[in-house]
Structure 1
């Protein structure tokens, strides 16, 4: 390990957990929650309370530096104890990943204009990369990107369509990926912009992210050259800087969610009786909860291991793929068992368990499906074998 977690980070994580349990969880039945996430009014109301409590954007320090990845894991896990926690505390995707990327790549002027309102929680953002499958666009394979950008004087003109763009509805900052003659590029844009038109917000299995997931048309979007992030043709390299920590952050948040689901299922199994004894005393139920503890601990250790790799300065591409697969699959098992233990109550909206199950099911696809990560790892195994001395 690269060093112990500081006492300050541990104290911060405790404050975050207290805030989520005491302030955020009561919002879970709020009428302003919809199929496409919490309303903007609700988001800003919760963030105002987080700001007053000193826990807004807790993973970024006052001087702009980030907590270490291991410390971030501790904080983001606690924020994830409620699906609304990351929204309230400004640790949610895609904002958390976008803030990380801008902190690494953006110029001072870009940081002042685009990063500052994200860190303050006053604005949300969207990352425009994925494209419609029906048009042969980029999905898990970003090299298939169809969106084009061409220089025009001191501007770039962008045209294309994007799909599954989280938070596009209501976002004020956008990072748009497009392909130039040099390769992939990233552009910072202020939203809304009439050249970026939301065609529809998709109905998806998850419902925690503000703005939902949109299909977007980009038609003759003119962006000043000063708003290109980094250099033309370097977009894929910048995406890799963002993707490894972002994958891990998803793991951190949903570990917290599944810890909460397991708490609820355990309490239910201890108080609900059937066939003359509490459910927990039936081996079939007790063993499921025991398996949950094992999967939760393994997920925690994988996150900590990958965080340590990133803290050591490595890009962590393979390690984050391994962690994303292991954690998303383990948490899916945990969430599924929680629903099963609770029976009819588990599939109802009477507790948050049903939503956590839906959100974690989507997590197995978002930021790369399990199968794509395994395929990427298999390619690495083949490359490493060619470079070794295996008989």
Structure 2
């Protein structure tokens, strides 16, 4: 009789195993994971790309497999427990030993999006009086207790951070040398547990760190944020921002796993807000109903004018959201941004207007469409309108992220549909104002 292979045997690499589990339906994935041995299951649950990790971990806790939970990195375990129901969380915490339970509960207490919420408390900390040889021996003896060993954090008798020694410095140094002699350079760079994760990412990127120490008010190390933790956090935030920028909310789950009610809730609110905004566009067109009756040809170019304004506004918004997120632009620099956008948008609008002007002339002289005897005035109206609409769209698109940040909101909420809706209404006003100026006494 052929023996049924162990579920882990068919997938030699954890990435392949995680991909296999992600392809299963939730009940199948939980059952499949439950048949894995403890080391494999622990390694699987540590992967951030495992979509049903919380459900699998909840089943693990229900089965009383505390050894699996104990083996998971504490920052990852805190993330998984944060998705449990209160009863499930309490049951899972009782399976942990006291030090691990205390550490995980402390991690869960930090607000989402802060350094404390993504840091790990598993790091190497040694006293200032140690030598390189003592430190290397300590790392070897405690290797299983640390998630990563990118750097060694040197503290004084009061546990205050005094220096950071990279693993490379440690390996290359004289074994008899004191640690403080190896840690030459500036004072250690650190952040507080309530620092925003985007600020943590900026510091790590600026200094090329693999890990950043997180210190409390007394400068004692409470954890470290590793570069892979930052990448995972920023990818999650990018997904949330993409949802908002598309005119919706973050689903919080793969598309095919989102419930029907959740889909309606996440998308319906924004669609209703945008619909109310577009109603103003209908009101604006009603206001210019007489002009449209006199010059029906103007209606042909309304989609062109509105889409150009919305496109320019969305471009400016996306650039400024990125600039604010990366710290390239600060809130106080809004006026510099406006001074840059205005001349650029004027030139861009003039360029688009020239294309529209040429189009009318080509169609008129090629006999493709007859715009009437005042076709030149119509062409100039389109040109002038595009300059105004593109300039306005770019300006409001650039300023909206600043306004939202000033109000304490996420700049990514300045979604492309929202910008387009705002530009549509006033774009019509600009268009018909230009038409009244140039076509008054002729077509109007």
Q: Which of the pair is proportionally richer in strand?
A: 1
Which structure carries more relative contact order (alpha carbon 8 Å, separation 6+)?
1
Q: Which of the pair is proportionally richer in helix?
A: 2
- The TM-score with structure 1 as length reference comes to 0.27
Structure number with bigger Rg: 2
- The TM-score with structure 2 as length reference comes to 0.24
